[in-house]
Structure 1
Amino acid sequence: MKAIISTLSLSLLMPHFAAAEAASADQAGNIIDTVVVTGRRSEQNLSQLIGAAGQVSTEQLQRIGHAHINESAARIPGVWLSRGNGQELLAAVRSPVFTGAGSCGEILSTEDGLPIRPTGMCNVNQLFEVNSEQASGLEIWRGPGTVFYGSNAMHGVINSLSADIQRNYLSLESGSHDYNRVKLGWREQRGNHSWQIAANGVTDKGFKDEAGFDQQKLSLKHSWSGSEVRTDTHLALVNLNQETAGYIKDKDAYKDSAAWKANPNPEAFRDGQAMRLSTRISGASGAGDQWQITPYVRKSEMRFLQHYLPGQPEEKNGQTSAGVQSSYQTSLATDTTLWLGTDVEWASMWVEEFQANALGVANNVRFLGQHYDFEVDSQQIALFANLEWQLSDQLTTEMGLRYEYLNYDYDNKMLSGTTRDDGSDCNSADGTCRYYRPEDRSDSTNNVNFHLGADYSFGDNLSAYARLASAYRAPQINEIYRLQREQAVADINPEQLDSVEAGLRFRQNGFTAELNIYNMDKEQVIIKDSAGFVVSNGETSHRGIELQLGFVINPAWQIAAASNWAKHLYRQNGLINGASINGNYIDTAPRTQGSAQLLYKPNKTLSAELEWVYLGDYYLDPANAHQYAGHDVLNFTVQKSYRQWDLRLRVTNLTDERIADRADYGFGSYRYFVGEGRGILAEVKRYF
């Protein structure tokens, strides 16, 4: 009943909040179209988009002032960035929450359209490597990406738009649990040159025992505009030092006031550093053709304790990569536009795993010592074409095709096989150990994805679209080379996804609505089977309805919301404890979720917002034998501007509910990442 009431409540509210805010600026009713850039790596009107994309605007991001990106992403339907501890997260976009070595490959993470990691070496927590705290916008494409994107853009694309400083500022924030943050935004314009600095530093002691993090982020940008050419250079630097809190166990432990702040793994940690440098060179010809070329380099390293595994091995990994994105746009006729592009990438990636603890005896199958030490060099090239044809004033069609080749050259730095690192046997019936290290080898994949869609306008206020699309992801190097005994590299193939979706968009007199319906089927899903082996014979289905509504009640009051209903099901004939899971709900896949915001903004200097975030119930295991009931949370934010000063007060979890940010069931026990109780944060910002 709670889920039904919550869903009906959201259905009465929904909106596209960015459009609602624009309407307020235009005295309620003349809604300005939102512009997005994720689909084609260039500006596109959201109301004419053949696909589904949500945007959190600059004004919204500044109002939220998120400490974790999940606070902002909650405003987009079908999206759940489940917070772990500190800056950790697991992402879901038209999907369940994905876990495991390659789960990060289901959703592509980008900044300004550039993937933040090379294909084959993503990380589930990688969004901390983006300065989303000072972003100029957050866009999330839901469903298979366009042909401008390749591997990993299966369930969606999370695209953070880098900072665009309009006024120089310095801000100080302080809040619960010894949370302190400083942010600097600076811009200088001289002739055709523009420089920007966006920097922030955080120290957070954490609400759980012996858990917190220190984090620093720096974005440096330079732009130059000539008569026919423009360049935009961006250097991003990130450092994270985190003391990680593990999950707590036992049913409903998150409700226990004596246990909910406990940290059973005070020894856990995560340290990470990342650097990205890119220069986008763009221009236009006299005939109106447009082109862009973006060379880039990236480097990242991470070190963390796998406290969630027996023996708690430590992992170290890193990558150095470089590439070039390019596209060319030309008009074949007044009603026909063609895009052609090439993406090329090179990467050198490495992974090490070492266990310092003995499980009973040193030669346990999870033995004390070095488990893995390997390097992988990759080469990737993609070609794509996209065509838009306006058949009439009402009907526009779009079609695209992408081919992508990826090659891995794997180099094992240890003894191959299933022995210990010194070549001795483990304490098992046949002497083998748990970990299998393949011989040096090369592997390659060839993949094609497409999309085909149409948008029809019924007039100024109503339009509809339909879209067919496919997507894929290459195996991550941790899936294909970080194996266990009795496994073979040849058993793991690229995942494939087919999608069909349709949508309606309506706007009139300060009211906006968008309804999306989708159906996706996925094959060769890379999963762990009942024996704990990584295989690619899984099948899943994903169906859902997404709704956004927005209403400008009057120039001072606005209401906004986002909601979705979804069914994410197993479709393979696998067995769990002897029972088939075919037709079961995928674990950690809520059927309903959403948010709603009520904004009071009587003038440009004052605003107050009340937000409701709802997460429905979900199963915790593939057998659907254990469940989390879901939760509701209220947040409140008030802002006041006075001359060169901005003041902001934010209260999260206003009613101090006991919730789990994420729950699952494993190793015979309920496990919870506990959500924070009531938190209060105050910010003082000075413009100069």
Structure 2
Amino acid sequence: MSLKFRWGVALGIGLLAGFPYVMCMPVLADEAKQEALQPQMDQPQADEIVVTATGYGEKRKTHPGNIAKISGDEIRFVKSSQPAALLNRAPGVDIQQGSGVEHLTAIRSPVLTGTAGAGSFLYLEDGVPMRAAGFANVNELMDALTEEAGGIEIVRGPGSALYGSNAEHGLINILSRAPSEVPEAELTGLVGPHGVRELDGTASTTITRGNASHGFRGSFVLKDDGGFRDASGYGQQKGQLRYDYTAPDTTVRTTFTTINLNQETAGYASSYKDPAIYKANANPEAYRDAWAIRAASRIERDLGDGNRISLTPYMRTNGMNFLMHFQPGEPVEENGHWSGGLLSSFAHDLAGGHQIIVGVDTEYTDGYLREIQSSATVGGGYVTGTHYNYDVKALVVAPYIHTVWKLGPATELTAGLRYEFTRYDYTNNLASDLVGRFLRPASRVDTFSNPTPKLGLTHVFSDAFIGFANLARSARAPQTADLYRLQTGQDPSAIKSEVLDSAELGARGALDGLRYEVSAYLMKKRNFAFRDSNGDNITDGRTRHWGFEAEVAAPLWWNFDIAASASYAHHTYDFTDIITKPGYASESILSGNDIDTAPRLVSNLRLGYVFDKGLGRAEIEWVHMGEYWMDAADTQRYPGHDLFNLRTDYMLTESLSIFGRLENVFDKRYADRADYFCRPLPAGCAPRYFPGDGRGLYAGATIRF
């Protein structure tokens, strides 16, 4: 698929979904106008509904585990250029931004890289994974249409029995924006420093005929960012169509999403303080081109007598081509896959408030990966030529059961079990041998079986104090790149499924407008597979994780309000691995050491103010990033940073709003990501950074039709 065609698909969806409809959109009804002028208030926590836990929707207060929710109103107020600025408002989440749309994620974990970063987190769109199991991408949020989302739900730690591979350290569920009951349309434009331009649009209506309704929404996002570093920047286009059919006993929700990205990438810098260095780009040749298309339809039918059935068929395809600027030799990687599957569940409500949900998830994937180095051979076995060229066909079958038992008027027990079977059929398209440091295993078939139980308990002491506890195991089959993108001395048969055991205790409640949720957790992970700096293959690495998390929101006096989230975590190695290679001692692992890129304290505090009878809102945000070690031996430290951001939004008329944000108010020099990296001698080890941008003013307007 050509880049021009992909760009046309995304732009075409936006035009078809938005502009023609805007031109014929009737004026909002008087009642709808008045609602638009009122300040948007969050639902009381007792009534807040979340859908990620079971797929059918349940009250957040009785959910037996943590769950954070970012509302659609908050999404549209923050108007973040990248998902990181929005998601990092939730406790336990630390997404570190790289160049352009690139990022690395931490959810109750260190910031994980490579296949560990790709496989440890599950990214969903309306409950459907955005990428196939085994083929995840560490930058997967680039595929999300967060700008026009209806909400985002975040689960920290293992997901429920409904979610399998990749829902290990946590999951993020992007909820598409539902169709409106009355005709509406919005067009938002934004400009900022470094040539930033963004145009978002959405249009929606619902048609009712007899006892059935048909809801339609189309949304698009067009972005252009010149980048604050030399030879950097990106253009991105996103489009989404949603159709809802609602009848007395049947609902259907269908979405079609397409994403295209063309990026000129800036590589790591050796300093984040010296503008002559951090504004430069040592890798002006680096780039990333990617596209994705997804379609899914959730069909839910009420069978009566407390029985419901849900079927969600889906299909997706994606591809990516990028220069691996972070690797010696700078090879080019091409990868992609197409896949299809079916999520199915049957829910039965028993007398006494009990519930049983059983289901089977199936998925088939056909994927490929090519890696070619065109530059001259460099030290350490980074040779010129084709490193890898392989195809993988994958099958996943996962039956599960999720149950809720009413033990008393205020007590619920949740128990679930998922059994996930994964089969990889790998075909090597090159000679099966060792070329430099790159090992190409012979064609083979690998299978993995992972049972993951979960047990949770919730007790409502009062609306002000609701306690919950849960025990869970999560597991993930290795990513295909773990198994078949090997290096010297590796054996795919020695690589096992990664397993994480978790215990959590927490409470939530609401009192006089104040809402809170606090939790504490302890986790142990085994079968952490990686290649150490000696060149040895570690297949039984172990880590420990414990921490505390809190989020709170409350109204204050004189139209002020406050919201905050914070997490204190301790992520450590639970094994020892001494590096003996000269110059690489900083990568030695000692049991009990902090894992690198694992800040202990991360927090976010927002003070808001509503003015002019609810027509305007302003917010000041304080983002605190604690210090963390940059290397495995805990010898190189990043000192952390504090950033302040200002945002405001004001409704001039019922059809026109203006907004602005001032990022990094005090022009703090900081690093979005700090790392310590070892290259083959004589280069050795040195710090490297993705520098953060300086002070920047963004402004725009929203027109409603």
- TM-score normalized by the length of structure 1: 0.92
Are 1:276 and 2:287 matched, yes or no?
no
Q: Which has the larger displacement, 436-445 or 155-164?
A: 155-164
Please state how far the C-alpha of 1:534 moved relative to its aligned partner.
Answer: 4.5
SS at match of 1:486: coil
SS at match of 1:487: coil
Q: State how far apart, in whole Å, the 2-side matches of 1:150 and 1:127 are.
A: 19
Equivalence for 1:9? none
Please state how far the C-alpha of 1:102 moved relative to its aligned partner.
Answer: 3.8
Please state how far the C-alpha of 1:460 moved relative to its aligned partner.
Answer: 2.5
Equivalence for 1:396? 412
Please state how far the C-alpha of 1:26 moved relative to its aligned partner.
Answer: 9.6
Q: Is the 8 A contact 1:27 1:555 kept in 2?
A: no
Equivalence for 1:410? 426
Please state how far the C-alpha of 1:33 moved relative to its aligned partner.
Answer: 3.3
CA displacement, residues 383-412 of structure 1 (integer Å, 9 cap, x when unaligned): 000110111112111100010100000000
Q: State how far apart, in whole Å, the 1-side matches of 2:463 and 2:150 are.
A: 29
Q: State how far apart, in whole Å, the 1-side matches of 2:273 and 2:495 are.
A: 41
Please state how far the C-alpha of 1:673 moved relative to its aligned partner.
Answer: 0.3
Q: Is the 8 A contact 1:576 1:623 kept in 2?
A: no
Please state how far the C-alpha of 1:25 moved relative to its aligned partner.
Answer: 6.5
CA separation of 1:534 and 1:106: change in aligned 2, threshold 3 A: farther
Equivalence for 2:620? 610
Q: Which has the larger displacement, 573-582 or 663-672?
A: 573-582
Q: Is the 8 A contact 1:484 1:533 kept in 2?
A: no
Are 1:377 and 2:393 matched, yes or no?
yes
Give 1:527's match in structure 2, choosing from 530, 533, 537: 530
Equivalence for 2:681? none
SS at match of 1:127: helix
Q: Is the 8 A contact 1:530 1:575 kept in 2?
A: no
Q: Is the 8 A contact 2:589 2:632 kept in 1?
A: no
The 5 A counterparts of 1:80-119 are 80-119=94-133
Please state how far the C-alpha of 1:473 moved relative to its aligned partner.
Answer: 0.8
* Identity across the alignment (%): 36
CA separation of 1:371 and 1:385: change in aligned 2, threshold 3 A: same
Are 1:680 and 2:701 matched, yes or no?
no
Equivalence for 1:633? 643
- TM-score normalized by the length of structure 2: 0.90
SS at match of 2:119: helix
Q: State how far apart, in whole Å, the 2-side matches of 1:29 and 1:415 are.
A: 60
Give 1:585's match in structure 2, choosing from 594, 613, 617: 594
Please state how far the C-alpha of 1:222 moved relative to its aligned partner.
Answer: 1.1
Give 1:237's match in structure 2, choosing from 251, 258, 277: 258
SS at match of 1:210: coil
CA separation of 1:340 and 1:360: change in aligned 2, threshold 3 A: closer
Q: State how far apart, in whole Å, the 2-side matches of 1:234 and 1:400 are.
A: 29
CA separation of 1:151 and 1:31: change in aligned 2, threshold 3 A: closer
Equivalence for 1:598? 607
CA separation of 1:626 and 1:563: change in aligned 2, threshold 3 A: same
Equivalence for 2:30? none
Please state how far the C-alpha of 1:200 moved relative to its aligned partner.
Answer: 0.8
Q: Which has the larger displacement, 340-349 or 28-37?
A: 28-37
Please state how far the C-alpha of 1:28 moved relative to its aligned partner.
Answer: 11
Give 1:541's match in structure 2, choosing from 535, 541, 544: 544
Please state how far the C-alpha of 1:226 moved relative to its aligned partner.
Answer: 2.5
Q: Is the 8 A contact 1:479 1:534 kept in 2?
A: no
Q: Is the 8 A contact 2:39 2:615 kept in 1?
A: no
Q: Is the 8 A contact 1:524 1:537 kept in 2?
A: yes
SS at match of 2:556: strand
The 5 A counterparts of 1:115-514 are 115-164=129-178, 166=180, 167-191=184-208, 192-249=213-270, 253-359=271-377, 365-419=381-435, 433-514=436-517
Q: State how far apart, in whole Å, the 2-side matches of 1:61 and 1:89 are.
A: 19
The AA in structure 2 aligned to 1:643 is: E
Q: State how far apart, in whole Å, the 1-side matches of 2:197 and 2:65 are.
A: 39
CA displacement, residues 4-37 of structure 1 (integer Å, 9 cap, x when unaligned): xxxxxxxxxxxxxxxxxxxx97999966632221
Q: Which has the larger displacement, 313-322 or 511-520?
A: 511-520
Equivalence for 2:72? 58
**Number of equivalenced pairs:** 647
Q: Is the 8 A contact 1:303 1:316 kept in 2?
A: yes
The AA in structure 1 aligned to 2:247 is: G
Q: State how far apart, in whole Å, the 1-side matches of 2:45 and 2:354 are.
A: 28
Give 2:54's match in structure 1, choosing from 40, 49, 72: 40
Q: State how far apart, in whole Å, the 1-side matches of 2:437 and 2:205 are.
A: 57
Give 2:554's match in structure 1, choosing from 539, 551, 555: 551
SS at match of 1:321: strand
Q: State how far apart, in whole Å, the 1-side matches of 2:135 and 2:230 are.
A: 32
SS at match of 1:60: helix
CA-atom RMSD in angstroms:
1.7
CA displacement, residues 532-591 of structure 1 (integer Å, 9 cap, x when unaligned): 355321000000000112221137110000001000000012113475511100000000
Q: State how far apart, in whole Å, the 1-side matches of 2:45 and 2:308 are.
A: 29
CA separation of 1:107 and 1:360: change in aligned 2, threshold 3 A: closer
CA displacement, residues 46-102 of structure 1 (integer Å, 9 cap, x when unaligned): 211111111111111101101000110111111011111100110000000001234
Q: Is the 8 A contact 1:102 1:478 kept in 2?
A: no
SS at match of 2:564: strand
CA displacement, residues 444-501 of structure 1 (integer Å, 9 cap, x when unaligned): 0011001101011112321101100000011011110010121111121100010000
Q: Is the 8 A contact 1:54 1:141 kept in 2?
A: yes
CA displacement, residues 268-287 of structure 1 (integer Å, 9 cap, x when unaligned): 00000000011110011221
The AA in structure 1 aligned to 2:197 is: N
Q: State how far apart, in whole Å, the 1-side matches of 2:589 and 2:326 are.
A: 27
Q: State how far apart, in whole Å, the 1-side matches of 2:463 and 2:325 are.
A: 56
CA displacement, residues 275-314 of structure 1 (integer Å, 9 cap, x when unaligned): 0011110011221212210000010000100011111000
Please state how far the C-alpha of 1:529 moved relative to its aligned partner.
Answer: 2.2
Q: State how far apart, in whole Å, the 1-side matches of 2:40 and 2:361 are.
A: 41
Q: Is the 8 A contact 2:39 2:614 kept in 1?
A: no
SS at match of 1:310: coil
Q: Is the 8 A contact 1:188 1:196 kept in 2?
A: yes
The AA in structure 2 aligned to 1:416 is: S
Please state how far the C-alpha of 1:360 moved relative to its aligned partner.
Answer: 5.6
Q: State how far apart, in whole Å, the 2-side matches of 1:533 and 1:610 are.
A: 48
Equivalence for 2:672? 661
Please state how far the C-alpha of 1:39 moved relative to its aligned partner.
Answer: 1.3
Q: Is the 8 A contact 2:45 2:61 kept in 1?
A: no
The AA in structure 1 aligned to 2:626 is: G
CA displacement, residues 566-620 of structure 1 (integer Å, 9 cap, x when unaligned): 0000001211347551110000000000101011013331100111111000000
Q: Is the 8 A contact 1:447 1:472 kept in 2?
A: yes
The AA in structure 1 aligned to 2:237 is: Q
SS at match of 1:453: strand
The AA in structure 1 aligned to 2:598 is: A
Q: Which has the larger displacement, 579-588 or 590-599?
A: 579-588
The AA in structure 1 aligned to 2:311 is: I
Are 1:652 and 2:663 matched, yes or no?
yes
CA separation of 1:27 and 1:59: change in aligned 2, threshold 3 A: closer
The AA in structure 1 aligned to 2:635 is: A
SS at match of 2:165: coil
SS at match of 2:158: coil
CA separation of 1:106 and 1:26: change in aligned 2, threshold 3 A: closer
SS at match of 1:576: coil
Q: Which has the larger displacement, 175-184 or 522-531?
A: 522-531
Q: Is the 8 A contact 1:210 1:263 kept in 2?
A: yes
Q: Is the 8 A contact 1:344 1:380 kept in 2?
A: yes
Q: State how far apart, in whole Å, the 2-side matches of 1:555 and 1:337 are.
A: 45
